[in-house]
Amino acid sequence: MKDDLEDKITRECTALAESYMTERKEKDAAEALKNIEIVKSETESKENLFHRLIRTKELWEEMMDFTSPGDIRKRLAPLL
């Protein structure tokens, strides 16, 4: 993430929350502020989310290959 992206998101979400508060939309303001916490928690994670996405895609493809043939019951029997 860019170094200043977290700051930009914080400023924008805070401004949005203030706007909601002037309109007396407390729930919307609270949700806008929650976005700040989400961003902070995601930036603290050291895991590369793109790599996790690719691995999940690969696992999904393997599962689809495994379950696509018609003899799935025979192939699953030894595993159960």
What pTM was computed for the model? 0.52
| Owning domain of residue 5 | 1-46
Distances (CA, A) of 12 to 3, 36, 78: 16, 9, 56
pLDDT tens for each residue of 46-78: 778 789 899 999 999 998 887 777 677 777 778
38 and 17 within one domain: yes
38 and 54 within one domain: no
52 and 74 within one domain: yes
53 and 31 within one domain: no
pLDDT tens for each residue of 19-53: 999 999 999 999 999 999 988 887 666 778 789 89
Domain count, the chain: 2
17, with CB counted inside 10 A (0-12, 13-18, 19+), is: buried
41 and 3 within one domain: yes
